[in-house]
Amino acid sequence: MRLLITGGAGFLGSHLCDRFLAEGHQVVVMDNLITGSTANIEHLAGDDDFRFVKQDVTEYLYVEGTVDAILHFASPASPIDYLELPIQTLKVGALGTHKTLGLARQKQALYFLASTSEVYGDPLVHPQREDYWGNVNPIGPRGVYDEAKRYAEAMTMAYHRYHGLDTRIARIFNTYGPRMRLEDGRVVPNFIAQALRHEPLTVYGDGSQTRSFCYVSDMIEGIYRLLSSDEVEPVNIGNPQEMSIIDFANLVNEITDNSAGLVFEPLPEDDPRVRRPDISKAREVLDWQPAVSLEEGLRTTISWFEERLTTGRPDNEGAG
C-alpha cells in the first residue's frame, strides 16, 4: 500500500512509519513540525519508499498519485502543547480531519483516525468501554483537545455513513517510549527527565489519581491490526494495567536510583481522576493485548532518555 500519515514526524507517527516501511509499504509523511521533528524520521531519509512533505493539514491538501490509506495522527497531544496551542489543536481536529477525510474520499482510500482516551474526559464509568459517552467539560482548558477529538470522531462517522467511506477509529490511551520529548509535559517523560537529573519528581495532587501506560511497540501493533480489520466503530487501544501516579513515581525513582524523592503541586483543572481502558473489544476483534511489561518498557525508555541527556542532542519534538 501507499499510505499518507499526517503527524508522521511525531512520536507515534514516526514509529508507524518504521512499521509500515518494514512491512514493504510506501509512506508519505505530512507534518508542519509545530510539535513534530525531522529528528524522528531522519533515519528514513534515504529510503526510496519514504517521502516527507512539510505542510499544515488544515490547509488545502494535494498528494500526487495513489493513496491507499490515510492515517490522521496530526495534533498536539500533550497538555503543555494543546494549552499553548489551543486554536491550532481545535483546527487540526476539525479542519484537519475534514481535509483529510475529503482527500480519502477523493482517493478512495481507507481512513484511520487517531482519537484518544480524552474523549472520555474525567470518567464516571471505570474502566472505560467504547460505549461510554464520556464526561467532558467543553469550556475547560482541556476542552480544546477533548472536544477536537470528539468532533473528529463524529466527522469520521459522518463520512462513513453518508459517503460510505471505509474508516477506522482508535481511542489511544497513555503511550510511552523512545522519541517522546524530554519536556513533553506528560507524566512519563516528566518523571524520567527529573529522575535522570536527580531532581524530586513533581506529583500533582496527592498522587492517588490513576493512569495506565502502554509501551509504544504494543500500541503500534494494535494500530496496525485495527487498520487491517473491518471494525468501523471506535476501539480502545491501551494497557489495562492501572496504577496510581504516586506508585508510578516511586517506580521511576527506584529504576533510576533517584533518591531526591517527590514534591507535590496542585492538581490541574479537569485532570482525570482515573484512566483505564477496557480492551475487551480489542482482544475479541483484533486478537490484541499488550505484551511489554511496565518495568521492561520503562527501562528501555529510560535508557533512550539517558542517551539524549548524555549526548546533549536537541530535545526531540514528537507529540504525534
Just list the catalytic residues: 145
Amino acid letter, 174: N
Provide the grid cell at 27.
509512506
Q: What CA–CA distance (Å, rounded) separates 243 from 183?
A: 23
- Measured CA to CA, the distance from residue 60 to residue 81 in angstroms comes to 24
Q: In terms of Cα–Cα distance, which of 278, 274, 281, 277 is closest to 135?
A: 274
Structure letter (DSSP) for residue 316: P
Residues 40-60, buried b or exposed e (16+ Cβ, 10 A)? Answer: bbeebeeeeebbbbebbbbee
- Look at residues 98, 80, 131, 40 and name the one whose alpha carbon lies nearest to residue 318: 40
Distance separating alpha carbons of residues 260 and 281, to the nearest angstrom: 41
Distances (CA, A) of 122 to 134, 168, 170, 271, 315: 7, 24, 19, 7, 31
- The residue type at 300: T
Q: How far apart are CA 132 and CA 125, in angstroms?
A: 7
> Residue 81: what residue type?
D
Burial grade of 125 (CB within 10 A; 0-12, 13-18, 19 or more): middle
Rounded Cα distance, 142 and 153, in Å? 17
